[in-house]
Structure 1
Amino acid sequence: MEKSLLKQLNLWHQNKEYDKIIAAILEIPEQDRDYDAVSHLARAMNNLDRYEEAVQQLLTIEKQGENDPLWHFRLGYSYYYLSEYEGAVREFEMASTLDPADQSALEFLDWSRSGAEKQKKRARKKAKPLQTASGQSKNNGTGKAPFEDFDFTGFWDDCDYALKEYVAEPPTDELVASIEEELGYKLPASYIAMMKLHNGGMPVNTCFPTEDETSWSEDHIAITGIMGIGREKLYALCGELGSKFMIEEWGYPDIGVVICDCPSAGHDVVMLDYRACGRDGEPEVIHVDQEGDYKITFLAENFEAFIRGLVNEDVYDTSEEDKQEALRKVAGGAFSPLLSELCAHVTEVENIEGIIRAVCTRIVEEKGFFALHADELSTLMYDLQFWLYTKSYPSTDRETYLEAYKSMIAFGGAFGTGGYAPGFITDWLDDRIGQGMITEKDGVLSFTDRALEALLEKLNGFASAGNALEASGLINIAEKIKPFQLVEHDSGNISMILDVGTYKHEVFQTRVDEGFEGNGYDWGSVAAVFLEEKMPHLADIVRFDPEGSMFCAYSGNREAMQNFAIGFKDACEDDAVFRDLFSRAELD
């Protein structure tokens, strides 16, 4: 290969312009492409997730690459992302043998071995016959009526939201055929039978166990609802937020049918997977995780097995811990740079940061987690963010705002929801324009004077909540006790929280040989010594509930908790005092 071309290919690679690499090399006649050219072509294809094509290219230079660790690595990389783990293991083993210093090859080898083992377990699991409630075996329901002996009594949670957005009239055979034609896949008989009994909805049991970790949990996934057969409901297969929408708008793989939405508001789904059976066969059920680069996790060999395997969320209930974590986030998490910049320009209301935190605390208290949907408080936060942004950037058009929206709270870091469903924010914007609250003149968006007046009135109402916190001393105390945080709860309790890891880490390292790590339990031991020796009068009032990554003290007595928080932080800041307390701490 010419040096000038090689230099250009490397430059394109650095700039992640992989399409240009592929186009340039494909212009070279196949018989004239040397080993380096094909290697660069395969690497670019791998970087664009075109793994099957990369394998084809690499195999054309197999003999030349026999002793090249990089050739084996690239082929192993392709096999790994094609989930052909045994081939990946073989190639990464060879790459590691040829280049023992390659840590990436060793890392991928470990992942590939793990993937191969999970595939074997999955194969054994799929080979087991489905067990009915009576213990009798079924072979995928063949020759049996769907859901024979399955009691659907109490299966559905027919709340108002479910009835409005999911549940439709039982589908006719004509509708089923029409939906199948539109989707391009034949729906499982068990799915059709279930929908004819209850066409879509939100089940009582919403969790399904997994062997693989996902963005939702290390041992299970959760669903919100099961899509019905139809077009009218929001969450129907061909509804506004149905299967086609998730595939076309959210980028989910076009390998089947999305049948369940999840609590992440679009960031993961459950699908029928037709890759192995064809469009008219019996599909497997999989979980697809957008947060994990659309990672696919096998759930069940068929739809009936999936439904039978659903369990109640109580089995995995971490809601209270999740809620407390969310409360800590909205109470003390740092604003994103953009949100901080916008708040600095506000003069119309006092303590805008306190107002934002007060609104979001209310959201968490009501939902149990931090997310914006289509409810009243979420709408207030949409209004608030729009006002903040357009106040600082008055020439904002629709496209600019929708892009900027991501950087305020949606992906706001420490104070952020960690994602959002684009449909919620576009629906909000369209509604506000339709209501005449937001005008669009020459493409520029802005609140009307009356809409802004109404918004400020609402914000001033929440300002009282922020002022109440300030009056109670919590805001001033919050500054004094950083990096600890104080969190108030509806129950009346108040907690002192620390995300452990860096603060006073050097002190805990002095007893690392005894097993101390500086984790939440170690902090709890130090705090217990402080409470016993320095504030014994609070011994029965302040309690501890640490976890591995978090220290937590709590009390129903506000004044006692405030006094403890200030006293303990002062002790932490005096290095000699803290080391003395730590010397008497006992390993939990």
Structure 2
Amino acid sequence: MDQNLIKQLNQWHEEDKHQQIVDTLQAIPEEERDYEVVSRLARAYNNLERYEEALEQFALIAEPGQQDPLWHYRVGYALYYLRRYEEAAQAFSAADKLEPGDPDTEWMLKSSLRKAGKQLREEQRIAAKRAAAALEPTGTSGDAAPFTDEFLNEFWEDSDYARKSYVSEPPTDEMIASVEDELGYKLPASYIALMKQQNGGIPKNTCFPTDEATSWAEDHIAITSIMGIGREKSYSLCGDTGSLFMIEEWGYPDIGVVICDCPSAGHDVVMLDYRASGPDGEPSVIHVDQESDYEITFLAEDFETFIKGLVNEEEFDTSEEDKEADLHRVATGEFSPLLKELCSQVTEVPQIESTIRRICTRIVEDKGHFSFHNDPLSYLMYDVQFWLYTKSHPDTGRQQYLDVYPSMIAFGGEFSQGGYAPGWITDWLDQRICEGSIAEEQGRLSLTAEAQADLIRQLEQA
């Protein structure tokens, strides 16, 4: 491939101009496309989230690609985001054998294996529920009230905020039919019974135990509220931030009804899942995690079981132990190889490693855990990591930085948060570019001289 073209393609890649890469490479006659051209074309399709087209291109160079770890990795990447996790795991395993020890490959392999196992269990559960439903005589559900008065009297939190934000008038039969028609699903009798007692609100018990870890916790999920039947309140089923909004605007799977919002403010929800039952049957209850590519975690076979299984958050309160563990981690944990290398090249701030530890200690003391969000100290640490990396890699573009970010602290070995939400990073980066403290020139990102001087002053005072 022509060196000038390679240079141009690299620049477009750093600038996230992936469609220009596709247009340029597609203009090359097919018979003139070599391995490098096809590989770059497929990568651009991956970056445009056109994964099926990416796989078509990778298939054209499959034979020479067998000895290329990058070919296997990129194939695995496409399969992963197509939720073909078992095949993705095979591809990442092949990449790992050809090039052992790559942290990105190891993480993607581990995630693919975990999700493949979870996907298989989910498929088996749905198949079993469908089989059981086919054998069950119709009309056998019974008319017993799902919840006792004693249970209901202790279920809801009573507060001005709950009443103002979530609680609507009890639904009429006409409202129930109208909402069901709009949603396209028959609501569970137990849900309707609960809503006729109080139509939406905040329960006193907001946690549900799980057998598998989610983005929220290792052993449970948490909800903020239960949506009511209606349209009046924003967080009612057909409200302006209700079920249809979460599916159509936030991309949640169109497999049922969103019934609970969560403390993440939209980044995970609880849904009624009608895949096994059909739109008129008894749905299961699932947790859907947007931050993990809309990963589904089974919670309960039906709504009544879910409601009766909610427990108080105090049962999972390990905050003091977690805080102590995180304080120890930021004080003594070994830096990742990348972060250690970047710190070794700093001359502007004496003992930069100790400074980073002091800032992160303050973060843990403030939050109770080691994580970065959109608060001032977190933004300071985003600035620090960006400065360290671009100081050593001055040609860094946006996508390159977003790709390398996890290797510094988010998944940085001992001195690590064990995860991160990419949205916080992109929001910080967009804000810094917008306010002018990060400059973008020909696809390269860097702190301005004024922003760098201000950052160094903050570090000297930390």
TM-score, normalised relative to structure 1: 0.47
Separation of aligned partners in 1, 2:275 and 2:12? 34
The question of whether the paired residues in 1 share the 8 Å contact of 2:287 and 2:298 is answered with: yes
- Structure 2 CA distance, aligned partners of 1:51 and 1:140? 41
For the structure 1 residues 68 and 278, does the alpha-carbon distance in structure 2 shift closer, same or farther, using more than 3 Å as the test? farther
Q: How does 1:449-468 map to 2 (within 5 A)?
A: none
Matched, 1:145 2:138: no
Which residue matches 2:397?
none
Summarize the alignment of residues 1-16 of structure 1 with structure 2, pairs less than 5 Å apart.
2-16=2-16
Secondary structure at 1:211's aligned position in 2? coil
Residues 55, 188 of structure 1: alpha-carbon distance in 2 compared, 3 angstrom cutoff? farther
CA spacing shift, 1:74–1:162, aligned 2, 3 Å = same
Alignment-derived partner of residue 167 in structure 1:
167
Indicate if the aligned counterparts of 2:55 and 2:78 stay in contact, CA closer than 8 A: yes
**Shift, 1:240, TM fit:** 3.7
- Cα distance in 1 for partners of 2:23, 2:68 equals 25
Tell me the residue number matched to 2:84. Answer: 84
Cα deviation code 1:276-324 (max 9, x no counterpart): 8887776554333455565544434554453343333232134777999
C-alpha displacement of 1:162: 2.9
Secondary structure in structure 2 of the residue aligned to 1:413: helix
For the Cα contact (< 8 Å) 1:73–1:105, is it kept in 2?
yes
Query: Closer, same or farther in 2 for the Cα pair 1:291/1:254, shift >3 Å?
Result: closer
Q: CA deviation at 1:89?
A: 1.9
The one-character-per-residue Cα deviations of 1:340-374 (angstroms, maximum 9, x if unpaired) are xxxxxxxxxxxxxxxxxxxxx9xx9xxx999xxxx
Give 2:185's aligned residue.
186
SS at match of 1:38: helix
1:451-498 Cα deviation digits (max 9, x unpaired): xxxxxxxxxxxxxxxxxxxxxxxxxxxxxxxxxxxxxxxxxxxxxxxx
Change (3 A) 1:101 1:169: closer
TM-score where L is the length of structure 2: 0.57
Offset, 1:116? 2.7
Q: How does 1:91-490 map to 2 (within 5 A)?
A: 91-100=91-100, 102-122=102-122, 143-145=139-141, 150-153=146-149, 154-155=151-152, 156-160=155-159, 161-183=161-183, 185-190=184-189, 191-192=191-192, 194-247=194-247, 251-253=250-252, 255=254, 256-273=256-273, 284-292=284-292, 295-300=295-300, 302-318=302-318, 410-413=374-377
Distance across 1 between alignment mates of 2:129 and 2:145: 16
Letter in 2 for 1:94: A
Counterpart AA for 2:6: L
Which consecutive residues of structure 1, in runs of 5 or more, have no partner in the other structure? Answer: 131-136, 326-360, 371-406, 419-516, 518-588
1:189 counterpart letter in structure 2: P
Q: Describe the SS at the equivalent of 1:195.
A: helix
Per-residue CA shift, 1:534-562, capped at 9, x if unaligned? xxxxxxxxxxxxxxxxxxxxxxxxxxxxx
Q: C-alpha deviations, 1:391-423, integer Å up to 9, x for none? A: xxxxxxxxxxxxxxxx9x94323599x9xxxxx
Structure 2 vs 1, CA of residues 168 and 140 (structure 1 numbering), >3 Å: closer, same or farther? Answer: farther
Answer yes or no: is the 8 Å Cα contact 2:73–2:95 preserved in 1: yes
Question: 1:147-179, CA deviations, whole angstroms, 9 ceiling, x for partnerless residues?
Answer: 956324324315133333323234345434433
Report the CA distance between 1:227 and its aligned residue. 0.6
Q: Rg: which structure is higher?
A: 1
Q: Is the 8 A contact 2:252 2:290 kept in 1?
A: no
CA 1:101–1:28 in structure 2 vs 1: closer, same or farther (change >3 Å)?
A: same
The alignment partner of 2:106 has SS state of: helix
- Residue identity opposite 1:51 in structure 2: Y
Displacement after TM superposition at 1:237 (Å):
1.5
1:547-566, aligned counterparts within 5 Å? none
| Distance change in 2, residues 1:116/1:240 (3 Å) | closer
Moved more, 1-10 or 141-150: 141-150
Which secondary structure state, in structure 1, belongs to the residue aligned with residue 75 of structure 2?
A: helix
Q: Which position in structure 1 is the counterpart of 2:423?
A: none
Deviation at 1:124, TM superposition (A): 5.8
Q: Quote the residue 2:69 is aligned against.
A: 69
**How far, CA to CA, are the matches of 2:282 and 2:40 in structure 1?**
40
Structure 2 distance, partners of 1:120, 1:182, is: 32
SS in 1 for 2:20: helix
Aligned residue number for residue 47 of structure 2: 47
SS at match of 2:376: coil
Provide the C-alpha distance between the structure 2 equivalents of 1:139 and 1:192, rounded to a whole number of angstroms.
26
Report 1 or 2 for greater relative contact order, CA contacts < 8 Å, sequence distance ≥ 6. 2
Whether the aligned pair in 1 keeps the contact of 2:188 and 2:303 (CA below 8 Å) is no
Counterpart contact for 1:126–1:301, Cα < 8 Å: no
Aligned partners of 1:188 and 1:303 also within 8 Å: no
Taking the TM superposition and a 5 Å limit, the aligned residue runs for 1:527-566 are none
Q: 1:30 & 1:282 partners in 2: Cα distance?
A: 52
* 8 A Cα contact 2:73 2:92, kept in partner: yes
Query: What is the alpha-carbon distance in structure 2 between the residues aligned to residue 50 and residue 320 of structure 1?
Result: 45
The 8 Å contact of residues 162 and 201 in structure 2, kept in 1 or not, is answered as yes
> What SS is found at the alignment partner of 2:269?
strand
